[in-house]
Structure 1
Amino acid sequence: MTNLVPWQQRLSSGTEDIQDEVIRWYQQTRHGKAYIPAMIWGTLQTEAYATVILRRVVDFLEVPNDVPAGVAKRMERQQVLYDGEHHYDVILGEQALYTNVGGPTVMREQMQRLLRDFDLPSLKLGILPRTAETDVVPMPGFNMHDNGRAHYELVSTGVDITDPSELALHDKALAALSEATYFGDLAKDLINEALVFWSND
């Protein structure tokens, strides 16, 4: 099954309510997976980075401006990384380290945050190099919550996929991406390269 919910409908009261909903998803998910090719995964965003992202969402969709409240909820959601009850396998595209969100200061702090949390027991973070050849076609990013739902964030709507055969294809895609992804020190090296870039900008 595929569910489509337009963002303007879901954000009709602002960003705080939907962030509350996302917190519940993450609290209920014991093992999450994500592929995020061009931006930083929300659960690893700094407050400054998240503020820029949510401000752009509010401005673009012309929904009520409650950015500080939405950011506070996004920061609250990040507690799942530290409570010892959850685990996340996350692949970021190398482009995510260079997509300019808020300028060099914001990006430098974001790279430092990635390095700080890289070795958390709850997190397996990998970076897919920009020149990597994979066995799947390029695709948008998505999150998987346990094995029951895959979630996409598109321009105008959020998409939830729950059909088991479709979810199996998502797992297959993540496995293929993982084969070309850098983990451990190789991934840290890519983040450090991005940190140097934003520090010298």
Structure 2
Amino acid sequence: MNNQAQETREALGARLRGFRKDAGFSSGRAFAAATGWQESKVSRIENGKQNASEDDIHLWCRLTGHEAEASDLVATVRHIDELWMDWRRVLAAGAENRQKKSLPLYQKTKVFRIWDPNMVWGTIQIAEYAENVFELLSDFHDTPADKEAAVAKRLERQRYLYEGSRIFNVLLGEQALYSNHGGSEVMRAQLDRLLAILALPRLSLGIVPKSAPLAIFTGHAFSMFDDKLVLVETYSAEMTVTQPKEIALYREAFDRHRQSAVYGQAARDLILAAIDHFERLGRESHG
């Protein structure tokens, strides 16, 4: 869980502890007896070690005489959930809904900063590459397989590359050119797509060569939307960063990755080398 989510959860727990004490429950044990919960649950919630559910909040407020404040606290719980979303919960109804939620964010963002050391960024993926990504995601999390609908929504985002005055600063690690999503033919087509977008006037595509001196450790992929929000994807969850101090760190990380990147003809040469690799791979598999 990121710092902002944890701090918010701890602040909520402290507020609930105050409610309990003000209502005359001198100990967590006494309050646990009134709720029918384990005493350890009361302690974990009050110390920010466990998320309180919406039902927990309503019961807590009712027993302590703070029902008028329940709606505000429920909103806080939902905000914590938004800051750290378990993928199985996000994808419970399939990947299409998650892709759909991205569209308003893309619409209002003016400057994008994207770092992915291992994979081609979603908005510049071709359909076949994206299909493979969604297949892997569905299989890993055992969630509904709706790759066609999810791909359609992902491809909708591409219109923002051409509309308005948005600026896209995209950095990929050289490994992203070789991570095989869909086989040699798909990879060659995806790499051809990267060559094509090098000409887009408002998109800057940099590649960090695998042997380039680094100004910061490679780390994980992230997407930064203006200076307001950062999305970080892990194997287990999607983390939303909105705290200014944390956003500033991601901005600094992006700037440091950019110091190691190559652009223009040097980036084109790296992409062409990867295309040559997959052409040879394709010939060998058919030979």
Higher mean C-alpha displacement, 89-98 vs 55-64: 55-64
| Aligned with 1:133 (options 206, 210, 213) | 213
* 2:111 counterpart residue number: 31
Question: Partners in 1 of 2:100 and 2:272 — Cα distance?
Answer: 33
Percentage identity across paired residues of the two chains: 37
How far apart are residue 5 of structure 1 and its match? 0.5
Where 2:112 maps in the other structure, the secondary structure is strand
2:263 maps to 1:177: no
Question: Partners in 2 of 1:36 and 1:107 — Cα distance?
Answer: 17
Where 1:21 maps in the other structure, the secondary structure is helix
2:163 maps to 1:83: yes
How far apart are residue 120 of structure 1 and its match? 0.4
Partner AA of 1:74 in structure 2? R
* 1:151 counterpart residue number: 231
Higher helix share: 2
Unaligned runs of 5+ in 1: none
How far apart are residue 61 of structure 1 and its match? 0.8
Where 2:204 maps in the other structure, the secondary structure is strand
Partner AA of 1:105 in structure 2? E
Checking the alignment, whether the CA contact within 8 Å between 2:94 and 2:144 is kept in structure 1 is yes
**Aligned residue pair count:** 201
Higher mean C-alpha displacement, 38-47 vs 170-179: 170-179
How far apart are residue 63 of structure 1 and its match? 1.0
Q: 5 Å matches for 1:40-55?
A: 40-55=120-135
Partner AA of 2:225 in structure 1? H
2:199 maps to 1:101: no
Question: Partners in 2 of 1:193 and 1:27 — Cα distance?
Answer: 34
Higher strand share: 1
Following TM superposition, where does structure 1 have runs of at least 4 consecutive aligned residues deviating by more than 4 angstroms?
A: none
How far apart are residue 6 of structure 1 and its match? 0.3
| Aligned with 2:200 (options 103, 117, 120) | 120
TM-score (norm 2): 0.69
Question: Partners in 2 of 1:198 and 1:27 — Cα distance?
Answer: 35
Aligned-pair RMSD on alpha carbons?
1.0
Question: Partners in 1 of 2:265 and 2:230 — Cα distance?
Answer: 29
Checking the alignment, whether the CA contact within 8 Å between 1:136 and 1:177 is kept in structure 2 is yes
How far apart are residue 85 of structure 1 and its match? 2.9
Checking the alignment, whether the CA contact within 8 Å between 2:181 and 2:187 is kept in structure 1 is yes
Checking the alignment, whether the CA contact within 8 Å between 2:94 and 2:143 is kept in structure 1 is yes
Checking the alignment, whether the CA contact within 8 Å between 2:106 and 2:157 is kept in structure 1 is yes
How far apart are residue 184 of structure 1 and its match? 1.1
Where 1:51 maps in the other structure, the secondary structure is helix
Encode CA deviations 1:62-111: one digit per residue, 9 max, x unaligned.
11111100000011111111113311101000000001111100100000
| Aligned with 2:247 (options 167, 186, 191) | 167
Question: Partners in 1 of 2:144 and 2:179 — Cα distance?
Answer: 26
Checking the alignment, whether the CA contact within 8 Å between 1:84 and 1:122 is kept in structure 2 is no
Partner AA of 2:228 in structure 1? G
Q: 5 Å matches for 1:47-66?
A: 47-66=127-146
Question: Partners in 2 of 1:67 and 1:199 — Cα distance?
Answer: 27
Where 2:97 maps in the other structure, the secondary structure is helix
